[in-house]
Each structure stands twice: as C-alpha cells, then as structure tokens.
Structure 1
Amino acid sequence: MTRQVLVPIDDSNPARAALEHALTVFDPETAVSVIHVVDDLESGYGGGPTADDHEPAFFDDVETRAADRHLETQVVEGTPADAILEYVDEHGIDQIVMGSEGRAGVSRMLLGSVAENVTRRASVPVTIVPHER
C-alpha cells in the first residue's frame, strides 16, 4: 500500500496532470508531497530564483486542488533529477508521480529528460503521466 507519494511540479500542464492523477488514484489517506525544484545551475548563473526565494505562485493552486488531502509543499534546490531522488530517500517516499515533460526548448535538449532520468535511477515505482495536447 502506498502511503507517501511525491509529485515534483513546475508551472507546466504535464505537472498539473501528474498532480491530478495522484489526487485521483490514491486514496485520501495517502500523504502527498509536492516539490518544486529550483535548478541550482540556472540560479547560479542568474537565470532564476533560488530555493530561498518565496514559494512559487502555482503552489496556491496546488493547495486549492488538494484541499481535502494531507499535503506538503516545499521548494528544493539542486539538479532536478538528483533533487527529486534525494527527496525520495530522505522522506520515505513510496512512489513518484510526475509529468512526462516539463522543460522546453534548448534547456530540455541540453539537460535531457528529467522524467527519464528519475525513472532510470529511482528506487521506488515511478508513474509518468502524459499531458493531453
């Protein structure tokens, strides 16, 4: 029985689809952790915020969608796949539910697919949720 699910999220439609999937498939007793990873490579070169900055605005939408659930939100810093896998190990996560894609453009081509990287390296089951186009 899955007791703790992790949903890595950004402000993308596939990430929102993953959250909806987790909230629909898992019973209300299942704790859901939602993390947003601030890529330390991008923030280090001035390309974005750091984990110390305020929580992203889309966390408000996450909390609204999961109002009847035990939900934790957190911003973490690191290389996305590494940060997700580290969170899994440190927080006793039983399953990961994530969108099929998040990044777009050159960043995705250079860094590869976070979902693929997590799936290959995870020690727990990973559900990849496709986004309807």
Structure 2
Amino acid sequence: MSKKKVLVPVDGSDRSLVSLEYVKDNFKPEDVEVTIMHVREIVFVNGMAVSEEVRDGEMLGNRVLEEAKKKLPGFNVKTEFTFGSPGDEIVNYTQEDGTDIIVMGKNTNKKFSFLVGSVTAYVVKRVKCIVIMIPEEF
C-alpha cells in the first residue's frame, strides 16, 4: 500500500496549526507523507513587488514552516513555501503533487466575515481530493 499524500496549508496563526494536531492524532507516520505549505501574498507598489517585503516574507514564511514541522515528530514531512494567492497556490500544488488529502482549518470569526473560510471554500470547490476542514473549536 502506498503512502497517502497529505497537504496541510498553514498561515502561521495558532488556528491554522490545529490542523497539524489533527494529522498527528488521526494518521500514522508510516501511512502518510505530509507537506506543510505556507503561501505569502506579495505586496505591489506601482506594479512592482517591494523587495524588502519579499525578503521579509520569505524569512517569516520559512520560520512558520519550521515551527509547524516541529509539531509532527516522527512523520515524513516536507515544506513548501511560495508567493501568490493562497487558494490558487494550494489548488495548483494539489494537482501537480497528486495530493490525496488536504487538512485545513476554517475560520468563522465574525469580524472577518467577508473572508470567512474564503481560502477553504475556494479550495473545496476546485480540488478533486478529500478536504478535511477542522472547526475552530477542535
């Protein structure tokens, strides 16, 4: 039996890291290959990316991934960092990698109602694999 490919998108918030706890509690390390993904949006000024933002964003993104990776001791974990639109990047990665399962949290915070689960909803509508959404009160 081949290992299942599990993608866990994280944004660095405590909320997104709950997905890693779900993976640790519900999958055996010998059964899965886990990729933790962090996508940074790029800031543009007058049509050009601000190089300082890009450099700082990459440093922060890699720090987020390394901290997230520590939450899955014993698992075969790789990390993926990229710039772009989170929904698009997650969908594209899933298609290219042949991901079997995506595990991601959903945010229903009222003050962010215009973004409620926007990335999660975008991903669910576009991928052809299993998506496990972790509720806030998990």
Structure 2 CA distance, aligned partners of 1:78 and 1:90?
Answer: 16
- Whether the 8 Å CA contact 2:10–2:37 is kept in 1: the answer is yes
Aligned residues: 129
Q: TM-score if structure 1 supplies the norm length?
A: 0.80
Higher relative contact order, structure no. (Cα contacts within 8 Å, ≥ 6 residues apart) = 1
**Rg larger in 1 or in 2?**
2
Structure with greater proportional helix content: 2
Structure with greater proportional strand content: 2
Q: CA deviation at 1:64?
A: 1.6
Fraction of identical pairs, as percent: 28
Q: CA deviation at 1:104?
A: 8.9
CA RMSD for the aligned pairs?
2.9
- Whether the 8 Å CA contact 1:37–1:80 is kept in 2: the answer is yes
Structure 1 residue 44 corresponds to structure 2 residue 49: no
5+ residue gaps, structure 2 = none
5+ residue gaps, structure 1 = none
Q: Where do residues 84-123 of structure 1 align in structure 2 (5 Å cutoff)?
A: 84-101=90-107, 109=114, 113-123=118-128
Structure 1 CA distance, aligned partners of 2:53 and 2:114?
Answer: 21
Partner of 1:128: 133
- SS of 1:65's equivalent in the other structure is coil
- SS of 1:11's equivalent in the other structure is coil
- Whether the 8 Å CA contact 2:95–2:127 is kept in 1: the answer is no
Name the CA shift for 1:126/1:76 in 2 (closer, same or farther; >3 Å): same
Partner of 2:86: 80
Q: Which runs of 4+ in 1 moved over 2 A?
A: 43-46, 48-61, 101-106, 108-112
